[in-house]
Structure 1
Amino acid sequence: MKFKLNIDRNKEERVEATLHGKGDFSYRLEELVLGYSGEDSVMAYTEDDIKELKYRDIECVTVIDSKTYAIDTAGDRYRLKMRLYEISEILPSYFIKINKSSLANRKQIERFSAAFSGSVDVIFKCGYKDYVSRRCFADIKKELK
């Protein structure tokens, strides 16, 4: 396989690949290219600070008491000045909906935990835990197959 990268600020950005056939690599490449919005961070707030939070460092975005929060890889909670639907439009495609008020970074999920009652929780690498709705879990299972 050969790789060539041309950087020219005066031309339109374009990605072109020639492959022998569709496969796991082609699907991943397509997801990477089409999922890139040109941004890779969002402004996040604590009581004292403002921080630029990279998408890859966000484990979960959730709504608590009508306010949107991002939980990072250290388990810290940051306030976002956007609604959940607004942040979902700009996040990369590896963020998935896990319930009506939360989005999860698929790359930061450690495991799913099923309870005897039939409910399913998602446990992130930082230790944060959230529930997965039945409808969203069905969609996640289809996507993982």
Structure 2
Amino acid sequence: MVVPVIVQGAALLRDHVYSQSQGRAGELALAVRREELAWRIEQLEYDAELARHQKEVMLSMISAGDAAHARKIDAVMEAFRGVLGVLTTHQRMLESEKDMLSRSFLSPDTTDALRVEIRRRQREIDVALEEIDESAVAVQAIATETVRRIDPQMPPLMLR
């Protein structure tokens, strides 16, 4: 059977158009894939930038929390140091008074009645100094316990 030339030409044209359309479809599919990949890259870059921003915010929050925590500990320690300062000042005043009384006691101008009063006052001062020492130890213990409740990892402190 003989196929007319026109039919053969039409078949060749059809094959040629089909192969061109297949090539064009491949190009379009490739272009669509490139667009999808470009969009995905943009999305990933946006997500990465968002993650960086969230990291910066979280780091600044942690830093602010650490600073507030440190200020809290500093404030507590400063309060306890203030209490110890008052106790130390009172202790120095009592020791100064006791020294003055000792000098007065040894003075030849001091009467026996006055010496009895000086001895009584010196005993009172000794009791007060002992109470101050006990109070200082108690303040140190309370300060250590308070700071440990705030930060269990902190080593024992010395306020003086």
Normalised by the length of structure 2, the TM-score is 0.22
TM-score (norm 1): 0.24
Q: From the two aligned structures, give the one with the greater strand fraction.
A: 1
Larger radius of gyration: 2
